Amino acid sequence: MVKEKSVSEKKKIKVAVGLSGGVDSAVAAALLKKQGYEVIGVHLFCYDEGPYCTAPEDRKMAVRVAAHLKIPILVWDLHRQYRSKVIRYFFDEYKAGRTPNPDVVCNREIKFGIFMEKALRDLKVDHVATGHYARIKEDKDGFHLLRGVDESKDQSYFLYQLSQKQLEQIMFPIGGYTKKEVREIAQEINLPNKTRPDSQGICFIGPVPVAKFLRERLPAKSGPVVDSKGEIIGEHDGVWFFTEGQRHGFRLFKTTGLPLYVIGKDVKKNILTVGRGGEARVRQFEIEKPHWIGKLGDIKNVRIRHLGEILSAKLTGLKVTLKEPIFGVAPGQSAVFYGSTGSPRVAEEVLGGGVIREVNIL
């Protein structure tokens, strides 16, 4: 059954909902309409290249959802801005030997950048809403960004660059629901996309394998694979196609008997360094471009990838020290810090984060 939210005092509030064509944003719009808000759907057209792109189907479905819910819908063409702010960043970072997170940048620049600003300014709405699995709580200290209730769908990692001002005007209607419950609501109100599979892949692009996407734009360039002692033991097709912690894709002249992982890249010399399991572990790394959402709480936890384990850590200045070493920490990734809200759930609140600048291999 649809969960009721008490919003009797907000009957005339206007909300622009980003309708992607997927079931999550559709249910978000449906919940807001049921609660009495004046809902306007906005579909963002950002990318339409390649066989993996689902933009045409997404747009048609968003229009069908809006018709089903009897709400107006607008289609905004942001493909030029998406290309300059997200696609260019994606390839520039890989070319520089770093591992970017395009979804973090997409949320900052497109969804809660251009879309939010344009909706508030041109549509005169009071809030914008999306189908993110995250929550917002307000108290005497301001607004707090919390993880979504569904641990398997939580998207708070991508949202760490939001500000207090933005959180005041953002709504995440499905953040308190599980995916199963969202699907049940879609079935209950017979949404046209109720059985549509979840979207996969890069933000707005679709389920394209990253390696394939990179090889379409970046040139192959043969170079040596060396071990931690500098001895050449194999070859590769270009350091920009690899990320720290990766154990496939390079070619070895002879087998070592143990798996080898990427532990370093020299972009200028096109040298890929690999090491055994113990050599690939990281206990410390430094961040840059830190962003904090509100008052800093007690930082004891960090996450270095979407839906990755929330790790025990200590932040000193811009240096992060992990309680236990881990694999796969790469420059360019986002390190997102979590704190406790006093809830039974550990590390529930997103405090902020930064971009990993340098990694110290054990």
Please give the positions annotated as active site: 106, 203
Q: Rg of the Cα trace of the chain?
A: 22
Unique residue bearing structure tokens 């709400």 = 71
225: which strand partners? Answer: 234, 272
What's the rounded Cα separation, in Å, for the pair 346 and 133? 17
Angle between helix 23-34 and helix 55-69 axes, rounded to 10 deg: 20
What's the rounded Cα separation, in Å, for the pair 234 and 232? 6
What's the rounded Cα separation, in Å, for the pair 193 and 197? 9
- Where helices occur in the chain by DSSP H, the ranges are 23-34, 55-69, 79-82, 88-95, 102-106, 116-122, 164-168, 179-188, 210-217
Tokens found for residue 323: 């309680």
DSSP classification of residue 272:
E
